[in-house]
Amino acid sequence: MPGSSRRRSSKRKNCLLKEKIEIRGVSARCSVSQVYDVMQGLSERKKELVREIGFAGLLSFPPITHMDNKFAVWVMCCVDALEHCIVVDADKKIKFDKHDVGLLFGIPTGGKTVEVKSKRKKEVVSRVWCEMIGIKDSRNRSIKAILDVIQREHGSVMSYGECVSFKLAFVVYVLSTVLAPGSRYDYVFLHYLDALEDPMEIASYDWSEYVFRKVLGGIKQMRNVLTSGKKVPNITGCSLFLQVLYLDSIDLGPWSIEDKGLPRVCFFSGDRFKYMIGADTKDCTKDRKLRTFGIRPEGGRLFHIVSSIDLEVGSRITATVAAFVDNYGRQRFRDGDCNYLNAPGAVEMLSDMCSAYANGKQDFMIGIRPKVVALKISDLLCKMFGFVELDVHFVDALIGCIKYRDATLYGGLHCVRWRHFVHCNFMESLLARNFDKGGVVATSNFAMEYVGYDVSSCKMVFFPSRLPDRWVCYAWRPDVQKMVVFDPLSFMGDGNVIFQFHEDMFELLMDALTQVQGLLCSPWVVGGIKPSLEIVNAADGFVRKNRSGLACLYFCCMFDGLCVRGGDSMADVGLEAPVIIAEAVDAMKPWMHLQ
């Protein structure tokens, strides 16, 4: 069928465009950063005039200081222009029409159609632009000139002509900057001028439908440029509408907006807008030049966990510093739909706390005492996605979290565990040849008064170790006296050299285990069976050198003594390891502290 063919073609174009925006720079004419300041600077009389023309929702416009243009293009590429929906994936489609524009911005929906004409008669332009708005030169189509009209000072009482001038200038300004920006910088297009000839009839026009048409036109124009292989010169139409609609329709955990008030845009402050986009970012290089979006199942969960903690702690900090911040208070807007916190000091303090990629100023103490580590959220995500290798302190902190999670499974069984994780300092002491069976390292890892359970009852004991160039993990099965060495990158080196190294480490480890027998409630039976050594790697698909720590962490959590649960391959470790970290962070949530 012709219609289905067009839809298939549209889907193929969507896939192509989503790939291209990762390498193409983009820009936009949507100037949202100034709109909030303009709205806040209006007098009460001018705000009343805005309500008279039906644009009251824009008085609640949020302080969005920056637009993520790559995210804007990604959302636009997801739009099926024929069905009027944002296609997130095969199971998620977000339908929209002109009514959504009205609900989102609080502008008139329904009524007379705003006619679009490419050329205007000189007398119409002269009457509306020069006489009614008050710009003397009809060739001056600058947005700055319109802004001057809006911000013009008046006396205590505005005349009829001044009211008309303000109303028309206001409509032109919001259309040119947010609702329907054109392709030229600082330029006003007068395609809709007929709807402004009678100031008393402005509210009777279907402005939502006009913005809706411009959104679809902007998508078509952008796709034509992208498919031609050119850099996007600018984004036209209201890209903010699509971004807010998308973010308001998906589940982003603690960043999802539960309030059902209107207009919807008023809930998207600059920080929330940035953090919601960060929570929906699937993948990102360290310099953020290449990014892909769409609900991510692995990283999203971790971001939600950390963000929920940030929100809880942030509210307490805000309450604490409130008394010390100038002009603190909550300002409720006219209809009571939206609250804004007017506390500059508190906002500055909290602005970077939940950022997915920015280097936040606030460090988190993560882990179970005494094994804790201070990390910024950006550092945590870099480690999770393998941009940098895991360090010893981070792995120790996560081991403590995993042990705490295991403890919840054995709440009714005193001193019993199936597995035991030894902290990295134990293997470090062996490598440094300074192991002491009566020292703190030995007792803190094996003595019952420190670990809280009988290590000798465990069926598996894991020894993660950080070598100079990679991570490895030794897994000891006391019942069969077998040592399994997980060396994820062993296939990349000389097999004989690597095997000899692990044999030497095996002997050191067995000697150390013999020495710690006195710390156990029931000493292991050593002897009778010659201990065996087996080396496994991740050659099936895991070759990233800076992810060996993630692989070892995955091995510790999923190895049952015979195989890695869920399959013998480590090919999916890049997806599964972040989930392990997320679960570990979730487990230690009650123990998380701020410095």
515-519 long-range CB contacts below 8 Å, 24 or more apart?
515/435, 515/437, 515/442, 516/437, 516/442, 516/446, 518/437, 519/437, 519/442, 519/443, 519/446, 519/447, 519/448
User: What one-letter code names the amino acid at 53?
Assistant: I
Report cis status (omega within 30 of 0) of the bond before 344: no
Average pLDDT of the residues in 37-43: 91
Q: How confident is the model at residue 30 (pLDDT cuts 50, 70, 90)?
A: confident
Q: Is the pLDDT of residue 167 over 70?
A: yes
Residue 195 is predicted with a pLDDT of 92
Q: How confident is the model at residue 390 (pLDDT cuts 50, 70, 90)?
A: confident
Cβ count near 44 (within 10 Å) = 6
- As given in the structure block, the two tokens for residue 483 are 């040592």
Q: Residue 339: enclosing H or E segment and its boundaries?
A: strand 339-341
pTM over 0.85: no
Specify which residues 368 forms β-bridges with.
371
Average pLDDT of the residues in 528-537: 67
- Stretch among 152-166, 548-562, 578-592 having the lowest mean pLDDT: 578-592
As annotated, the residues of the chain forming the CATH 3.40.395.10 domain(s) are: 368-594
Phi, psi of 462 (to 5 degrees): -105, 135
**Highest mean pLDDT, choosing among 87-91, 117-121, 148-152, 579-583:** 148-152
Angle between helix 207-227 and helix 98-105 axes, rounded to 10 deg:
110
**pLDDT tens figures, 459-479:** 899 999 998 888 899 999 888
- Domain 368-594 classified CATH 3.40.395.10? yes
Residue 5 is predicted with a pLDDT of 45
**pLDDT tens figures, 236-266:** 899 999 999 999 888 776 677 877 788 999 8
Beta strands 460-466 and 419-421, pairing class:
parallel
Q: How confident is the model at residue 25 (pLDDT cuts 50, 70, 90)?
A: low
Q: Is the pLDDT of residue 79 over 90?
A: yes
Cβ count near 500 (within 10 Å) = 11
- Pick the more confident residue, 454 or 533: 454
**pLDDT tens figures, 481-514:** 888 898 887 777 787 888 888 888 888 888 898 8
Beta strands per DSSP E along 355-505: 364-368, 371-375, 419-421, 460-466, 471-477, 482-486
DSSP 247-316: HTTS--GGGS-----SSGGGG--HHHHHHHHHHTEEEE-TTSSSEEES--TTHHHHHHHHHHHHHHHHHH
Residue 366 is predicted with a pLDDT of 60
Least Cα distance to 473 among 491, 487, 493 occurs for 487
